[in-house]
Amino acid sequence: MDEIDFEGWTCPVPIRPTDTVILGHGSGGTLSRDLLNRLFLPELGKAAPRALDDSAVVTMDGQRYAVTTDSHVVSPLFFPGGDIGRLAICGTVNDLAMVGAIPIALTCGFVLEEGLSFELLQRVVRSMEEAAREAGVFIAAGDTKVVQRGGADQIFINTSGIGKIAEGINISGANAKEGDVVIVSGTIGDHGIAVMSAREDLGFETRLESDVAPLNHLVAEMISAGEVRVLRDPTRGGLATSLVEISEQSNVTIEIMEPSLPVKPTVSAACEMLGFDPFYVANEGKLVAFIKENDADKVLEAMKKTKYGGDAAMIGRVIGTGRPQVRLKTAIGGTRLLDMLPGEMLPRIC
């Protein structure tokens, strides 16, 4: 036996206070899932059929539509490469694209803090317009609430969206199959580290920019090029959390080759300095895809020709079924198991 069998191993998780909400409940990792499984889903019962993908699929008049929602609370509001407005549009466009839907309409709900400057709000809204234009979606409805000073932190934006899923498209976290090739669309960790660098209290400086971008056009190219089985945008919780979710939904073992993973040197350096792992840092303009083995080359080629897929790379493969695991082959030949983000690494990252 030349490999350790990790089955059944467990890792200690941080103590989880059960009586109050902590920042980690918004992390997108284990605690978020806990809150969903232990509170939201049991209480909502039949009112909320369980859905694990980035968007829920709703069939109306025989046509499948994707619907999704995201609240955005990023701090600071402006960071290198983006702002809360661009984030709000792209986040929802991407959630729709991750089930193969063509985004049609968005709604925007603003919660504003009394005293916010019009100039700042204007910059945010202008940025939303630009992102919406780039993605080719329109904003069908909006709502604005204002709370007193100190009742909210400047601006929160909820963006919900609906998109159409074309006939024959069937993309879900549950569709990974043995042999599938795992592709990421570019370097990971850029968004999280860019936002970190903008938080003045950390005094951390880097020229890195957030990757926040709408991925719907990239997804369209991928779908034209080959059979796409799984798509996910690794936002909160990072790539590791997305891969673990997919391994569980599809009940497969995924092997990732660490040296294949595109990571910018500045991101690596920042992570080392701050004690972060790029695998768990949020992205806002990247996707991870599981592609049918024979189509992987064609899809990768198509991705590389697009605006946001230039650094796309094959990073791994589905090596088995029946055992939900994500194995990371390290540069020096070791293997470690990836887990979901247990708590909170970077609060208010999106």
Name which of residues 92 to 111 contact a second copy (CB under 8 A): 104-105, 107-111
For residues 315 and 260, the answer to whether their CB atoms sit within 8 Å is yes
For residues 82 and 284, the answer to whether their CB atoms sit within 8 Å is yes
Residue 289 phi, psi dihedral angles, 5° rounding:
-125, 145
Closest contact distance (angstroms) between CB of 58 and a second copy is 5
CA dist list (Å): 350 to 72, 75, 282: 5, 8, 8
- Which residues touch 2 (CB under 8 Å, ≥6 apart)? none
Closest contact distance (angstroms) between CB of 123 and a second copy is 9
> What distance in Å separates the CA atoms of residue 327 and residue 169, rounded to the nearest whole number?
29
Q: Does 39 bind a second copy (CB under 8 A)?
A: yes
| One-letter amino acid for residue 243 of the chain | L
Closest contact distance (angstroms) between CB of 121 and a second copy is 6
Q: Does 268 bind a second copy (CB under 8 A)?
A: no
Burial annotation 161-184 (CB, 10 A radius, 16+ → b, else e): bbbebeeeeebbbebbeeebbbbb
CB atoms within 10 A of CB 90: 30
Chosen residue from 56, 174, 263, 314 binding a second copy by CB under 8 A? 56
> What distance in Å separates the CA atoms of residue 215 and residue 230, rounded to the nearest whole number?
15
Collapsing DSSP to helix, strand or coil, 274 comes out as helix
Q: Does 72 bind a second copy (CB under 8 A)?
A: yes
Q: Does 164 bind a second copy (CB under 8 A)?
A: yes
Give the residue with the Cβ less far from a second copy, 6 or 40: 40
Closest contact distance (angstroms) between CB of 289 and a second copy is 21
Q: Does 84 bind a second copy (CB under 8 A)?
A: no
Q: Does 319 bind a second copy (CB under 8 A)?
A: no
Give the residue with the Cβ less far from a second copy, 241 or 325: 241
Q: Does 168 bind a second copy (CB under 8 A)?
A: no
Give the residue with the Cβ less far from a second copy, 94 or 187: 94
Q: Does 47 bind a second copy (CB under 8 A)?
A: yes
- Which residues touch 318 (CB under 8 Å, ≥6 apart)? 176, 177, 178, 179, 180, 182, 250, 252, 253, 254, 255, 290
Q: Does 259 bind a second copy (CB under 8 A)?
A: no
Q: Please tell me the count of residues contacting a second copy according to CB under 8 A.
A: 85
Which among 195, 162, 187 has a CA at the least distance from the CA of 87? 195
Closest contact distance (angstroms) between CB of 156 and a second copy is 6
Q: Does 160 bind a second copy (CB under 8 A)?
A: yes
Q: Does 257 bind a second copy (CB under 8 A)?
A: no
Binding mask of the shown chain, residues 5 to 34, with x at each position contacting a second copy by CB under 8 A = -------------xxxxxxxxxx----x--
Using N-to-C axis directions, what is the helix angle for 216-225 and 296-304, rounded to 10°?
A: 140
The residues pairing with 272 across neighbouring beta strands, listed in sequence order, are: none
Q: Does 206 bind a second copy (CB under 8 A)?
A: no
Which range of residues in 62-70, 166-174, 258-266, 289-297 is near a second copy by CB under 8 A? 62-70
The residues pairing with 253 across neighbouring beta strands, listed in sequence order, are: 320, 325
Give the residue with the Cβ less far from a second copy, 7 or 43: 43
Q: Does 37 bind a second copy (CB under 8 A)?
A: no
Closest contact distance (angstroms) between CB of 338 and a second copy is 23
Which range of residues in 56-64, 200-208, 218-226, 316-324 is near a second copy by CB under 8 A? 56-64
Between the two ends of the chain, the Cα-to-Cα distance in Å is: 44
Q: Does 169 bind a second copy (CB under 8 A)?
A: no
Q: Does 3 bind a second copy (CB under 8 A)?
A: no
